[in-house]
């Protein structure tokens, strides 16, 4: 019998705005995480996106990155700038848990 350990399916929700200078920096971090972790991301322009997504996830500022499971339940949140290492470490921690 094989012992199969499936990795949890997760994705990032990335709320940003074109006029937000920290968002430009955070976009590069998110891009690197997408490549390194092969994780999907929903890019949400908080400036012109429907209010329902910001309200559903209680997003009050940008940049905001939310790690969700396959049913879009929130697993972790980063508000403001964060590092690539912090994102990657949390994704690894939660994908094996």
**pLDDT by residue for the chain (97 residues), tens digit each?**
333 344 578 999 999 999 999 999 999 999 999 999 999 999 998 887 567 888 889 999 999 999 999 999 999 999 999 999 999 999 999 987 5
Domains in the chain, number: 1
Residue 90: closest CA among 71, 68, 72: 68
Q: Is residue 5 included in any domain, yes or no?
A: no
pLDDT at 7: 52
Q: Is residue 3 included in any domain, yes or no?
A: no
CA distance 97 to 30: 22
What residues make up the domain containing 36? 10-85
Q: Is residue 20 included in any domain, yes or no?
A: yes
Q: Is residue 53 included in any domain, yes or no?
A: yes
Q: Is residue 72 included in any domain, yes or no?
A: yes
């Amino acid at each position: 019998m094989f012992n199969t350990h499936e990795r949890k399916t997760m994705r990032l929700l990335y709320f940003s705005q074109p006029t937000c200078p920290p968002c430009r920096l955070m976009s590069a971090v998110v891009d690197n995480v997408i490549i390194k972790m092969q994780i999907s991301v929903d890019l949400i322009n908080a400036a012109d996106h429907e209010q329902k997504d910001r309200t559903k996830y209680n997003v009050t500022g940008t940049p905001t990155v939310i790690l969700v499971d396959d049913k879009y339940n929130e697993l972790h949140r980063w508000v403001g700038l964060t590092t690539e290492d912090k994102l990657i470490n949390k994704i690894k921690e939660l994908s094996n848990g």
